[in-house]
C-alpha cells in the first residue's frame, strides 16, 4: 500500500550488486519521484538515504555496513535524516539488524519494494510522534520483508502481487534512460545452488505475464529506447502457462515457476509462452527496438528452440552470459548445478553452431569447499578451451542461510583462493586478448552508452579531453558495446549517446576494442 500524499524531500540512493538491483532502484526511484521526492547525488544534502544492497558475497555487505556506520555519525548532527536499507541484505539480515544498527529507520526486502514510500512515511511519522531524539526502537512498521509476510509463497497465484504493479508503474520518461533499459521477465530463483543466497533473498522463481513484458517493451521504445535487456536469474527457464493464468483486481498475475526438468521446458495441455516464444514475440511486435539482449542464462535446459529463435531474428544480440562456476564435475555436483562439464561444453558447441558469431561470458567460483588442486586445474583447462570473451572470477564466500554454509567447511585457505583466482584471471586475460584481437580490422555496430570513464574523470578534474577536430561540435571519448557485448572505445560527439553507430576497430586490449567512427564527416 502506498500513500498519495505529495512529499517534498531530497533522496540519495546508492545501488550495490547486479543488474536486477539496478532495475529495482530505478523502479523505487520512479515511485518516489511520482510522489514528489527529488533525487540528489550528494548524500550529505539528502533527507532520505537509501542503500539498495547485495548479499551474494560478504564483501558487498561489508561495504554497506561501512556506509551505515558513516550515516550513524552523520545522524548525530542530522537526526532527521531517514536511513533505509533495501534489497537482498535487508532480507537476509532480517529485523535483528535494526537492533544492532539503530540508525537504520527502514528495512525492505527485494520482494516488498512497493512498500518503500509507506516505510519512509512511517519513519517520518514515528519521529514526529516520538521526538527526533527518542525514536521508538521497536521494529514494528520499520520492516517489510518477504520472510515476514510469506507473500510470495506457492499461493501467489491467488494473491494480488503488488510487486507486479511496481514493474507496471515504471517511468517511461526519456529523461530516465539513455536509449537502453532493463525489463524484468522472471523474479527470484528455484535452483538452490548450494553457495547462493538468492533463492532465500529473492524467493521462489515467478514469471511475469508475457503481455505485460511486451507492452513494457513497446512503451519503452515509444519513449526512445533502442536497446532492451531482459532480466532474470535464469531467463531461459521463462515459462508462462496461459491456461493457468489468473487475474486479480484487473491485473494479470505472475506465475510461480515449477522446476524445469532435464527434458526441457514443461508444456501443459494449454498454451504456453516459452522463452523462445517471448523473444520472438518481442522481436516481431516491438519493431522500433534495435537490440534485444537478455541475462542471465542457466546452462541446463537451454533448448535449441532458443538458439534457433536468436539465429532467425537479427535484432536479438549474439551474446550469452552462461555462468559455468567450475570446470570440475565433482565441484559442480557439490554446488548443485545440475550439469556436468561435458554438458556445458556441449551447449557451447550447439550455441556456436547455430550462432557462429556469438560471444559468451561466464562466471567462476574458486575455492569452494574441498576444492583440490586437480579441481582447480580442471577449471584452468576449461577456461583455455571455452573461448569466453570475459569471465568473472569470485573467491568462494560462505553465506549464512545457504546449504554450503550449513553443511560444508570453508576449508580452502584464503591465500590459496587468492592464488587460484589470479591464475584463472591470467588465463582468461590471454583468452580475452585473443577474442578481441580477432576484431581488429573489422567494422562493428556499437550501441553508444556514455562518455568513457577516462573522459568523465578528466572532465570531473576540470581538464576535459574534448578536442575540436573540424566537427560541428567537440568530440570526446565515448564507450559502447557490440552486439556480442564487447566494449568499444572511440572518439565522437556526445549526441551519439543512445544510438547505434559503425566503428572500425583499429587495435585491441584484453577487454576493449579501440576504433574510429566508420562514417566520419568529411575533413576529419
Comparing CA positions, the residue from 350, 352, 347, 266 lying closest to residue 300 is 347
**Cell of residue 39, nine digits:** 533525487
Query: Which residues are paired to 517 by β-bridges?
Result: 503
Helix count (H) and strand count (E) of the chain?
Answer: 17, 24
**Cell of residue 218, nine digits:** 513497446
Rounded least distance, CB 399 to ligand 5AD, Å: 5
Q: Which is nearer to ligand SF4, 283 or 337 (CB)?
A: 337
Q: At which residue does the C-alpha cell 570440475 appear?
A: 328
Q: At what angle do helices 210-222 and 275-285 cross, to 10 degrees?
A: 30
81 binds, among ligand SF4, ligand 5AD, none (CB under 5 to 8 A by kind): none
325 binds ligand 5AD (CB under 6 A): yes
* Cβ–Cβ under 8 Å, residues 254 and 185: no
497 binds ligand 5AD (CB under 6 A): no
* Cβ–Cβ under 8 Å, residues 161 and 254: yes
Q: Which is nearer to ligand 5AD, 61 or 449 (CB)?
A: 61
16 binds, among ligand SF4, ligand 5AD, none (CB under 5 to 8 A by kind): none
**Sole window of 29-37, 186-194, 235-243, 492-500 interacting with ligand SF4 (rule: CB under 6 A):** 186-194
Among 37, 43, 182, 298, binds ligand SF4 (CB under 6 A): 298
436 binds ligand 5AD (CB under 6 A): no
**Sole window of 87-95, 170-178, 190-198, 410-418 interacting with ligand SF4 (rule: CB under 6 A):** 190-198
**Sole window of 329-337, 389-397, 453-461, 479-487 interacting with ligand 5AD (rule: CB under 6 A):** 389-397
Q: Which is nearer to ligand 5AD, 172 or 192 (CB)?
A: 192
192 binds, among ligand SF4, ligand 5AD, none (CB under 5 to 8 A by kind): ligand SF4
> What contacts 239, CB < 8 A, 6 or more positions away?
207, 255, 257, 258, 260, 265, 266, 272, 273, 274, 275
Rounded least distance, CB 489 to ligand 5AD, Å: 26
257 binds ligand SF4 (CB under 6 A): no
298 binds, among ligand SF4, ligand 5AD, none (CB under 5 to 8 A by kind): ligand SF4
399 binds, among ligand SF4, ligand 5AD, none (CB under 5 to 8 A by kind): ligand 5AD
| Contacting ligand 5AD within 36-95 (CB under 6 A) | 56-57
337-367 in b/e burial notation, b at 16+ Cβ within 10 A? bbbebebbbebbeebeebbeebbbbbebbbb
Rounded distance between C-alpha atoms, residue 502 and residue 27, angstroms = 32
H/E stretch holding 19: helix 19-34
* Cβ–Cβ under 8 Å, residues 495 and 486: no
H/E stretch holding 239: strand 239-241
Q: At which residue does the C-alpha cell 514528489 appear?
A: 36
Q: Which is nearer to ligand SF4, 217 or 348 (CB)?
A: 348
Among 208, 212, 399, 436, binds ligand 5AD (CB under 6 A): 399
Q: Reduce the DSSP state of residue 352 to 3 states and report it.
A: helix
193 binds ligand SF4 (CB under 6 A): yes
Q: Which is nearer to ligand 5AD, 231 or 489 (CB)?
A: 231
273 binds, among ligand SF4, ligand 5AD, none (CB under 5 to 8 A by kind): none
SS3 breakdown of the chain: % helix, strand, coil, rounded to 5? 40, 20, 40
Rounded distance between C-alpha atoms, residue 331 and residue 372, angstroms = 10
Comparing CA positions, the residue from 104, 116, 110, 120 lying closest to residue 146 is 110
> What contacts 266, CB < 8 A, 6 or more positions away?
239, 258, 260, 272
H/E stretch holding 500: strand 500-509
| Contacting ligand 5AD within 359-388 (CB under 6 A) | 363, 365
DSSP 260: P
324 binds ligand 5AD (CB under 6 A): no
195 binds ligand 5AD (CB under 6 A): yes
199 binds ligand SF4 (CB under 6 A): yes
**Sole window of 45-53, 390-398, 485-493, 502-510 interacting with ligand 5AD (rule: CB under 6 A):** 390-398
Rounded least distance, CB 205 to ligand SF4, Å: 8
323 binds ligand 5AD (CB under 6 A): yes
**Sole window of 168-176, 194-202, 370-378, 442-450 interacting with ligand SF4 (rule: CB under 6 A):** 194-202
306 binds ligand 5AD (CB under 6 A): no
Rounded distance between C-alpha atoms, residue 175 and residue 22, angstroms = 16
Q: At which residue does the C-alpha cell 531467463 appear?
A: 235
Q: Which is nearer to ligand SF4, 113 or 193 (CB)?
A: 193
508 binds ligand 5AD (CB under 6 A): no
Give the number of other Cβ atoms within 10 Å of residue 436's Cβ: 23
Residues at the site binding ligand 5AD, with contacts judged by CB under 6 A: 56-57, 195-196, 323, 325, 363, 365, 394, 396-397, 399
Residues contributing to the site for ligand SF4 (CB under 6 A): 189, 191-193, 196, 198-199, 233-234, 298
Amino acid at each position: 500500500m502506498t500513500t498519495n500524499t505529495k512529499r517534498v524531500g531530497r533522496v540519495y540512493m546508492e545501488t550495490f550488486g547486479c543488474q536486477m538491483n539496478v532495475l529495482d532502484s530505478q523502479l523505487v526511484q520512479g515511485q518516489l519521484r511520482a510522489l514528489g521526492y527529488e533525487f540528489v547525488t550528494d548524500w550529505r544534502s539528502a533527507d532520505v538515504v537509501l542503500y539498495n544492497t547485495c548479499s551474494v558475497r560478504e564483501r558487498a555487505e561489508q561495504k554497506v555496513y561501512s556506509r551505515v556506520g558513516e550515516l550513524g555519525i552523520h545522524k548525530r548532527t542530522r537526526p532527521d535524516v531517514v536511513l533505509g536499507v533495501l534489497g537482498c541484505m535487508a532480507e537476509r539480515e532480517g529485523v535483528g539488524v535494526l537492533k544492532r544498527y539503530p540508525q537504520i529507520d527502514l528495512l525492505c526486502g527485494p520482494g516488498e519494494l512497493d512498500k518503500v514510500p509507506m516505510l519512509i512515511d512511517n519513519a517520518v511519522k514515528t519521529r514526529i510522534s516520538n521526538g527526533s531524539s527518542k525514536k521508538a526502537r521497536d521494529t514494528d512498521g520499520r520492516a517489510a520483508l518477504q520472510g515476514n509476510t510469506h507473500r510470495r509463497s506457492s499461493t501467489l497465484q491467488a494473491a494480488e502481487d503488488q510487486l507486479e504493479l511496481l514493474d507496471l508503474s515504471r517511468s517511461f520518461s526519456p529523461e530516465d534512460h539513455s536509449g537502453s533499459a532493463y525489463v524484468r521477465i522472471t523474479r527470484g530463483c528455484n535452483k538452490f545452488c548450494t553457495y547462493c543466497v538468492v533463492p532465500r533473498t529473492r524467493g521462489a522463481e515467478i514469471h511475469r505475464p508475457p503481455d505485460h513484458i511486451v507492452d513494457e517493451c513497446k512503451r519503452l521504445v515509444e519513449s526512445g529506447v533502442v536497446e532492451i535487456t531482459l532480466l532474470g536469474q535464469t531467463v531461459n527457464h521463462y515459462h508462462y502457462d496461459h491456461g493457468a493464468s489468473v487475474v486479480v483486481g484487473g491485473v494479470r498475475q505472475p506465475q510461480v515457476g515449477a522446476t524445469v526438468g532435464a527434458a526441457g521446458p514443461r508444456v501443459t495441455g494449454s498454451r504456453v509462452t516459452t522463452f523462445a516464444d517471448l523473444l520472438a514475440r518481442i522481436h516481431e511486435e516491438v519493431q522500433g527496438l534495435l537490440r534485444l539482449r537478455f541475462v542471465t542464462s542457466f546452462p541446463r535446459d537451454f533448448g535449441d528452440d532458443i538458439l534457433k529463435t536468436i539465429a532467425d531474428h537479427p535484432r536479438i544480440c549474439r551474446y550469452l552470459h552462461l555462468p559455468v562456476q567450475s570446470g570440475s564435475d565433482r565441484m559442480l555436483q557439490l554446488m548443485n548445478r545440475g550439469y556436468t562439464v561435458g554438458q556445458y561444453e556441449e551447449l557451447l558447441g550447439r550455441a556456436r553452431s547455430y550462432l557462429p558469431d556469438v560471444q559468451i561470458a561466464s562466471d567462476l567460483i574458486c575455492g569452494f569447499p574441498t576444492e583440490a588442486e586437480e579441481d582447480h586445474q580442471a577449471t584452468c583447462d576449461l577456461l583455455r578451451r571455452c573461448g569466453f570473451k570475459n569471465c568473472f572470477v569470485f573467491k568462494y564466500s560462505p553465506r549464512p542461510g545457504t546449504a554450503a554454509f550449513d553443511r560444508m567447511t570453508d576449508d580452502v585457505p584464503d591465500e590459496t583462493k587468492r592464488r587460484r583466482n589470479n591464475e584463472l584471471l591470467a588465463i582468461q586475460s590471454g583468452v580475452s586478448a585473443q577474442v578481441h584481437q580477432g576484431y581488429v580490422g573489422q567494422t562493428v555496430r556499437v550501441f553508444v552508452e556514455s562518455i568513457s570513464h577516462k573522459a568523465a574523470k578528466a572532465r570531473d578534474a576540470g581538464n576535459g579531453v574534448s578536442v575540436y577536430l573540424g566537427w560541428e561540435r567537440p568530440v570526446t571519448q565515448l564507450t559502447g558495446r557490440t552486439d556480442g557485448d564487447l566494449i568499444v572505445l572511440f572518439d565522437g560527439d556526445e549526441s551519439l549517446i543512445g544510438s547505434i553507430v559503425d566503428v572500425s576497430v583499429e587495435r585491441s586490449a584484453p577487454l576493449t576494442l579501440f576504433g574510429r567512427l566508420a562514417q566520419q564527416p568529411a575533413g576529419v
